[in-house]
Homo-oligomer: A and B are copies of this chain.
Amino acid sequence: MERKVDVAIIGAGSAGLTATSTVRRYTDNFVLIDGGELGTTCARVGCMPSKAAIQVAEDLYRRGAFAREGIAGGEGLSVDIPAALEHVRDLRDVFVDQVLAGSIDHMEDEFIAENAYFIEPTLLQVGDQQIRAGKIILATGSKPIVPRAWEVFGERILTTDNFFEQEDMPARVAVVGLGVIGLELGQTLARLGVNVTGVDMATMIGGLRDPEVNAAAVELINKEFPLWLGQAAELSEAADGCVRVTAGEQNVVVDKVLVCMGRRPNLCNLGLDGIGVRFTSRGVPEYDTHTLQIGQFPIFIAGDVDGDRPILHEANLEGRMAAYNATHDPVVAFKRKVPLAITFCDPNIVSVGASFETLQEKSIVVGEMKFGPLGRALVMNKNKGLLRVYARKADGRVLGAAMIAPKGENLGHLLAWCIQQELNVTDLLKMPFYHPTIEEGLQGALYDLRRKLDIQGEIPLELELL
């Protein structure tokens, strides 16, 4: 006996839950299926607990500014790492409860705590029952990648899945992979007093694609813990059950290795092969990024499982897009948001809009601002960093930016919103820049662009006729 629904949503993470609440606008006849641990990647092991840990580390690290400010006693500060981790878990539990209270806690037989398997493109095996769905939303998320050969190191290997469950941190940790998560947690551990070594076979860190911002970022972060870049890490056993991490000619013995080599979409045991879904070379189903439809199947993919933009606000948007298309005919194409990627290290690393390597160097001009002389940054004792804004040479249109900057997360929003509105350098210079704020750093980059683009006007660019 089949249960018939209009829409089946597989996965109750951020994308699946947002899809569910959007589907609900259009039909009551749906199911949400998830056989795993409840709570989103974001709340359980991602954005939220990492931000909580970062905040503790930043607060402790701030003592470096105390002496010059006339504050005594900074050298007497210390962190109780088990207590800090407990605090992180306390906050995490609040966030997980918030997520569940707003969603699954109120669902009855619409929620099924089982795994799903595709029998046909519209027929799912879910535990003992079969569900026939008009449309299906695939939102099964992702999990941390750990090379199979490293599984022998057992508990010596940390990923975000178990990091926040640790009772304590050991004295020596290697962080392998210095993208967003590796950089955030590596810097956090270093600031909490752990001896951290960072390793990445790439030479760009924190998801950067701009070589100059990357150079500034490497220089800044490298002062806090060593970064070994451009060589793959190899792991081997050392004395006392410790692990030797080797990268090129360098090696170090550590107690644990935090593996942050990216995340793999959860696509196993779903039966997608059996129904004829085609996969890209990166191992994700072929789908349209504007409709989220997988091939011509009545299946829509949303969230981290699609291997693109693995961040919460994009997962939520994809959940909405998938839900709309799963409840409407014909399928429609949606615009995507201006890309915004933030690494919440200190200073923040941010990429906005068009990525530097996708731009033709001849057709753009880059406006730069170093944060060294910026008044407010100096007052905050955070006058370190570099902002680069890319504008089209032809018309001054702002296309993208990359930065390592104090309050970069906020500058990133400003820039993303302006880029989404297709504004140009002159438009931005007419906006109010309060003094003294970090936003004046953006103003500095815009003035540099004005100079390099040789934008002239009889009237000063900051002004506009009534």
Contacts and interface: CB of A to CB of B under 8 A. Distances in A.
Interface of A: 22, 25, 42, 47-48, 51-52, 55-56, 59-60, 62, 65-66, 68-74, 76-87, 91, 94-95, 98, 290, 311-313, 316-317, 320-321, 323-324, 332-335, 337-338, 340, 342, 373, 375-376, 378-381, 407, 409-410, 412-414, 416-418, 420-421, 430-439, 459-460, 462-466
A48 B464 contact: no
A79 B420 CA distance: 46
Contacts of A373: 98
Contact of A79 (B71, B410, B412): B71
A84 B70 contact: yes
Interface centre among A42, A436, A466 (most CB of B within 10 A): A436
A77 B72 contact: yes
A382 B380 CA distance: 18
A316 to B, nearest CB: 8
Contacts of A78: 71-73
A70 B79 contact: yes
Interface centre among A91, A290, A381, A460 (most CB of B within 10 A): A460
Given A333-B466, A335-B465, A65 B76 contact: no
A432 B460 contact: no
Given A69-B84, A79-B71, A464 B414 contact: no
A212 to B, nearest CB: 23
A48 B463 contact: no
Nearest to A49: B379
A91 B383 CA distance: 13
Given A431-B420, A465-B334, A66 B77 contact: yes
18 contacts: A56-B69, A59-B62, A69-B84, A70-B81, A73-B76, A74-B77, A312-B435, A313-B435, A320-B462, A320-B463, A333-B465, A335-B465, A342-B437, A407-B410, A409-B434, A410-B413, A413-B432, A416-B432
A109 to B, nearest CB: 26
B432 A337 contact: yes
Contacts of A82: 70
B431 A412 contact: no
A311 B434 contact: yes
B439 A413 contact: yes
Nearest to A376: B51
A294 to B, nearest CB: 18
Contacts of A376: 51
A379 B434 CA distance: 27
Nearest to A337: B432
A375 B48 contact: yes
Given A76-B73, A78-B72, A335 B414 contact: no
B62 A313 contact: no
A461 to B, nearest CB: 9
Given A56-B69, A62-B59, A94-B378, A417 B431 contact: yes
A466 B77 contact: no
Contact of A421 (B87, B312, B335, B421): B421
